[in-house]
A and B are shown apart, each in its own frame.
Chain A
Amino acid sequence: MSMTTVGLAHYLVVSVVLLCLGLYCVLTRRNAIGVLMGIELILNSAGINFVAVSRYGSAGFDGQVFAVFIIMLAAAESAIGLAVVLGIYRRMRAIDTSRLTTLQG
């Protein structure tokens, strides 16, 4: 595989980069919305992964179907996640995760 043509490895690298960024975002953000955005990045990295493996592999369209599912899932997730955050905000007047420690044991 030559460096000039865009192959599977490129996609995977992008996907890993994206995953790392997402994880970083999730781990470091104190803003709940930021956390949600990090999660979006992780989901999308997974989506790229699926499509890329599907395109270069021999599994037909399964990967694409999964990617569509993930997009749909991400939409639903962000909708519910934002609603939860909104609910938390209404109750706690805060969306800083370091302050949302009522579940502490």
Chain B
Amino acid sequence: MQAIRWIVLLPLIGAAINLTLGSRIQRSAGRAAVAVFGSGMALASFAIAVTGFMRLRTLEPESRLLVDTVLPWLHVGTLDISIAFQLDPLSAVMALVVSGVGSLIHIYSYGYMDEDPALWRFFGLLNLFLFAMLTLVLGDNILVMFVGWEGVGLCSWALIGFWYKDHANTAAANKAFLFNRIGDFAFLCGMMLLFWTLSGLGHATLVFRELGAVAPLLEGQLLWGVPVVTLVTLALFIGATGKSAQIPLYVWLPDAMAGPTPVSALIHAATMVTAGVYMVSRLHCLFSMAPVTLDVIAVTGAATALMAATIALTQNDIKKVLAYSTVSQLGYMFVALGCGAYAAGVFHLVTHAFFKACLFLGAGSVIHACHHEQDMRRMGGLRTKMPLTFWTFLISTMAIAGLPPLAGFFSKDEILWKAFQREPLLWGVGLVTAGLTAFYMFRQVFLVFFGESRAGASVEAHADHSAAGAHDDHHGHHAHEVHESAAAITLPLVLLAIGALTAGWLGIPSALGGSNLFTEWLAPVFAAGGEHHAEAHEGLELEYALMAVSVLVALGGITLAYLVYLRKSLSADTFSRIARGVPYRLSFNKYYVDEIYYGTVLAGTLALSRALGWFDKVVIDGVVNGAAASVRAVAFLGGGIDKFVVDGLVNFTAHVFDSAGGALRLVQTGNINAYVYVLLIGVTAVLMAGAW
């Protein structure tokens, strides 16, 4: 189906035009032209994705696969790669989410970036990001996916550092890029190892739809005594931890909040960070063969979910809370993947895209209205001033907290259910995280939208001044009345809130009388991967019980937040003083992970570079200089020999001939008579010698 390529190419065209001619268009045709063009490309891409989705639905479930081969790309040896895109149930879901949420965020950006002179650059980069993300999602082989994988990293870098005049922003951008690169390197290693092994087995391919058939061949293949498939999947998962902000590579995501809020919503909440989840799901045929990797994924996901949630409890920056919440929710998705419940992971990805994008955009709306104030301690009471923002934010918050019947409830519950089947401890961690999530999200709602306005309130200065916190220069504007944002901002909010409200209904589990359309839709994709279908019907009561527990825990978290931040019948200080405030300080300072990284990896690298520098200076330079000195000494000696021996010989020869000539010239008298005498003597001598 030829149309698939246009899902990808339209944003690329938009990016190309806006990034090259955009400044001129903006000057001559106005800011709206740039925004309409960029958003139009995104919307057109979304429309084609919808058409493709409809087309897929008309097909039989098993044959739902549309491939569009654009160009042959690499044909080297056994490697045969085309630039090709495929639309199957999984990539269709992803394409819809990416282009759909992407389009809404494009529209939002026009309202949000209303003061920025470089609107064209922003839209160009957003379009470029969409292009890269859709390439990642729709590519029909790992290499095309990798192109998109790198592309989103690049766009993420460019957009985090969009306001590049502030050094903190470019530092955050570089940090994000470097952490992503670490993951990308592992991804690349995994990809090459996979290809190398498959080549050795005579089935060199990187095309997804062929991998399913080829993957069983990897069974029993060892490298260094470890199954190859485990190594490959571990490497790929490390790539996923970079892109999807999991332990140990998650630290870039909170700093990435330095970028404009639409960027945070699009890239760092809804789409790019889910790339790792998508990649694992896409290659589930490999991951299912590596139980060790699945365990690692599940444990990493659970640890990340819990850790990020505890950090989010104490953050004061409205976007930082959401950032840690994103890390935590991504952890959930990885727990699902680690349990082999790929559909559940992707389901949470979709619902999360809606409510987290909505939350970020809501936060952006608040930040915009408060003149770039991001500290929640200086907000408050915005409920009446920004009703639309408030209601959409509240809906999304309830969704992420996991309250039925909102989106987050179904997806989170499915994950918890799968985790419980796999390992109750995972479920326990997930449950605690759910409670923490409910608490910190409602803490945010209460701090921002309820109570009295604390605009302009002075808050004690903190040692914590990383990245996005540094917008203090806007304080003077606080006298202005805060009011609801423009339609370009509220319209996407409303649409996303509707998504946050309803997206979960796609996956109502059979236990609640639904048919779990979502899992059924993805079933053809994951059928080969050994997805555990809901065989556990015997535990229906158990499933109800777990649901009830998780809802109760969420309600408990909300109640606690209500008591502490709205009723103020409990003081936050009592919590922060627990155990001499150690847990509070750990959480507030993000477990000092950044400091630990600085202290170990960064300091280690610096120390290593210093040591290498010393080695270079002393040893290498010493060798070089020594060589130079010895060459000079040899040259000096050679020069001496040349001067005294060789020249001496030459000069001596010359001197011999000179002096001989000087002596002999006396013989040459020029007097003929003398010559004749000599001649006579000579002849006589010869004759006498002859006679004798």
Q: Are A and B co-members of a single complex?
A: yes
Which A residues touch B665, using CB under 8 A?
105
Shortest distance between the CB of A81 and any CB in chain B (Å): 12
Question: What 6 A-B pairs have minimum CB-CB distances, sorted nearest first?
Answer: A105-B668, A104-B670, A105-B665, A101-B670, A103-B670, A97-B672
Instruction: Tell me if B650 counts as interface (CB < 8 A to partner A).
Output: no
Which A residues touch B670, using CB under 8 A?
100-105
Interface mask (B661-672 → A, CB under 8 Å = 1, otherwise 0)? 000111111111
A30 to B672, CA, bound (A): 9
Interface mask (A18-43 → B, CB under 8 Å = 1, otherwise 0)? 00000100111010100100000000
A35 to B665, CA, bound (A): 24
Q: Contact at B667–A27, with CB atoms within 8 Å?
A: no
Q: Contact at B668–A30, with CB atoms within 8 Å?
A: no
Q: Please count the residue pairs between chain A and chain B whose beta carbons lie under 8 angstroms apart in the complex.
A: 36
Q: Contact at A101–B671, with CB atoms within 8 Å?
A: yes
23 A-B residue contacts at CB 8 Å? A23-B680, A26-B673, A26-B676, A27-B673, A27-B676, A27-B677, A30-B673, A32-B672, A35-B672, A97-B672, A97-B673, A98-B671, A100-B670, A101-B669, A101-B670, A101-B671, A103-B668, A104-B668, A104-B669, A104-B670, A104-B671, A105-B664, A105-B667
Find the B residue at minimum CB distance from A29: B673
Q: Contact at A105–B666, with CB atoms within 8 Å?
A: yes
A98 to B667, CA, bound (A): 15
Q: Which of A28, A30, A98, A105 has the most CB of B within 10 A?
A: A105
Find the B residue at minimum CB distance from A105: B668
Interface of A toward B, CB cutoff 8 Å:
23, 26-28, 30, 32, 35, 97-98, 100-105
Find the B residue at minimum CB distance from A98: B671
Which B residues touch A30, using CB under 8 A?
673
Interface mask (B654-690 → A, CB under 8 Å = 1, otherwise 0)? 0000000000111111111100110010000000000
Shortest distance between the CB of A33 and any CB in chain B (Å): 13
Which B residues touch A27, using CB under 8 A?
673, 676-677, 680
A100 to B675, CA, bound (A): 13
Find the B residue at minimum CB distance from A32: B672
A102 to B667, CA, bound (A): 14
Given A23-B680, A27-B677, A27-B680: A100 in contact with B672 (beta carbons within 8 A): yes
Shortest distance between the CB of A105 and any CB in chain B (Å): 3
Interface mask (B186-225 → A, CB under 8 Å = 1, otherwise 0)? 0000000000000000000000000000000000000000
Shortest distance between the CB of A82 and any CB in chain B (Å): 15
Given A105-B664, A105-B665, A105-B666: A97 in contact with B671 (beta carbons within 8 A): yes
Give the size of the chain B interface in residues (CB under 8 angstroms). 13
Q: Which of B664, B667, B671 has the most CB of A within 10 A?
A: B671
Which A residues touch B668, using CB under 8 A?
103-105
Shortest distance between the CB of A98 and any CB in chain B (Å): 6
A27 to B675, CA, bound (A): 9
Which B residues touch A23, using CB under 8 A?
680
A97 to B665, CA, bound (A): 19
Shortest distance between the CB of A85 and any CB in chain B (Å): 11
- Contacts A35-B673, A97-B673, A104-B671 known; 10 new A-B pairs at CB < 8 A: A26-B673, A27-B676, A28-B673, A35-B672, A98-B671, A100-B672, A101-B670, A102-B670, A104-B669, A105-B668
A32 to B672, CA, bound (A): 9
Which A residues touch B677, using CB under 8 A?
27
A103 to B666, CA, bound (A): 12
A102 to B668, CA, bound (A): 10
Shortest distance between the CB of A46 and any CB in chain B (Å): 13
A101 to B670, CA, bound (A): 4
Shortest distance between the CB of B642 and any CB in chain A (Å): 34
Which A residues touch B669, using CB under 8 A?
101, 104-105
Shortest distance between the CB of B214 and any CB in chain A (Å): 101
A105 to B671, CA, bound (A): 11
Shortest distance between the CB of A29 and any CB in chain B (Å): 8
Q: Which of A26, A30, A32 has the most CB of B within 10 A?
A: A26
A88 to B673, CA, bound (A): 16
Q: Contact at B664–A98, with CB atoms within 8 Å?
A: no
Q: Which of B668, B670, B680 has the most CB of A within 10 A?
A: B670
Which A residues touch B680, using CB under 8 A?
23, 27
A42 to B671, CA, bound (A): 20
Shortest distance between the CB of A89 and any CB in chain B (Å): 15
A51 to B665, CA, bound (A): 42
Which B residues touch A97, using CB under 8 A?
671-673
Find the A residue at minimum CB distance from B668: A105
Shortest distance between the CB of B663 and any CB in chain A (Å): 10
Q: Which of B666, B672, B680 has the most CB of A within 10 A?
A: B672
Shortest distance between the CB of A74 and any CB in chain B (Å): 17
A28 to B238, CA, bound (A): 119
Shortest distance between the CB of B416 and any CB in chain A (Å): 121
A73 to B667, CA, bound (A): 30
A41 to B676, CA, bound (A): 15
Which B residues touch A103, using CB under 8 A?
668, 670
A97 to B680, CA, bound (A): 18
Which A residues touch B676, using CB under 8 A?
26-27
A104 to B673, CA, bound (A): 13
A105 to B670, CA, bound (A): 7
A83 to B112, CA, bound (A): 121
Shortest distance between the CB of B679 and any CB in chain A (Å): 9
Shortest distance between the CB of A65 and any CB in chain B (Å): 25
Shortest distance between the CB of A32 and any CB in chain B (Å): 8
A103 to B673, CA, bound (A): 13
A32 to B680, CA, bound (A): 18
A26 to B673, CA, bound (A): 7
Shortest distance between the CB of B322 and any CB in chain A (Å): 110
Shortest distance between the CB of A18 and any CB in chain B (Å): 16
Shortest distance between the CB of A10 and any CB in chain B (Å): 22
Shortest distance between the CB of B388 and any CB in chain A (Å): 122
Which A residues touch B673, using CB under 8 A?
26-28, 30, 35, 97-98
Find the B residue at minimum CB distance from A38: B676
A102 to B665, CA, bound (A): 13
A105 to B673, CA, bound (A): 15
Find the A residue at minimum CB distance from B667: A105
